[in-house]
Structure 1
Amino acid sequence: MTTNVTRKELALTIADRLQISQRSAAEIVDKVFSVMKETMVAGESVKLVQFGTLTVREKSPRRGRNPRTGESMTITKRQMVSFRPSKQLRERLNQA
């Protein structure tokens, strides 16, 4: 079973650990994500030391198939975000 960590849960954890108000913690979380988004929209990578790197990649147009109808179609050129975990994160994930 997988669970997701929400923005609100992050803010609550930060508020608890730093002993600041939930409103201040929520503003911090929002600002961090805002800076990350702005950086990636500008085409730059976001490197979080000991966590990983978020990189904007170009995907070329390619032939695909509609799974519902089986019809052949062209998937347009687009950008996507890819995540590469740091060595430390990979090692911790694979310890179990």
Structure 2
Amino acid sequence: MKKKNVTRKELAISVNEKLGVSQRNAAEIVDTVFAIMKTTMVAGESIKLVQFGTLTVRDKSPRRGRNPRTGESMTITKRQMVSFRPSKRLRERLNK
């Protein structure tokens, strides 16, 4: 079974159908929500979506790694990453 990704366009179409707004306005709504989420995470803040889950920005420390092509040892620099923790309700629905 091939897994399918949901695109921004598909989200906009769903907003259009559910709220009855034009497709252009629905696309603007979706883009605005993602822009706000992006700005919030870049600022280092978490996003809690009730009954869905929490997106948090985590710091990863530098570590030793190796280049798989050459086998050469190298240091992987410190960086930030986004992690998602699903809500209890979402986990329950996924595991039914």
Q: Indicate whether the TM-score tops 0.5.
A: yes
Equivalent-residue separation in structure 2 for 1:57 and 1:79 (angstroms): 5
- Under a length normalisation based on structure 2, what TM-score does the superposition of the two structures give? 0.97
Counterpart AA for 2:90: L
> Does the alignment pair 1:20 with 2:21?
yes
CA RMSD of aligned residues (A): 0.6
| Alignment-mate amino acid for residue 49 of structure 1 | V
Query: What's the secondary structure of 1:58's corresponding residue?
Result: strand
Give the Cα–Cα distance (whole angstroms) in 2 for the partners of residues 17 and 68 of structure 1.
49
Letter of the aligned partner of 1:38 in structure 2? T
Q: What are the within-5 Å matches in structure 2 for residues 7-86 of structure 1?
A: 7-86=8-87
Q: 1: CA distance between counterparts of 2:72 and 2:93?
A: 43
Of all paired residues, the percent bearing the same amino acid is: 79
Runs (4 or more) in structure 1 with deviation over 2 Å come to none
Q: How many angstroms does 1:21 deviate by?
A: 0.4
* TM-superposed deviation, 1:68: 1.3
Deviations 1:10-37 (A, max 9, x none): 0001101111100000000000001101
Query: Which residue identity is paired with 2:77?
Result: T
Name the count of aligned residue pairs. 95
Deviation digits for residues 34-60 of structure 1, max 9, x if unmatched?
110111011100000000000000000
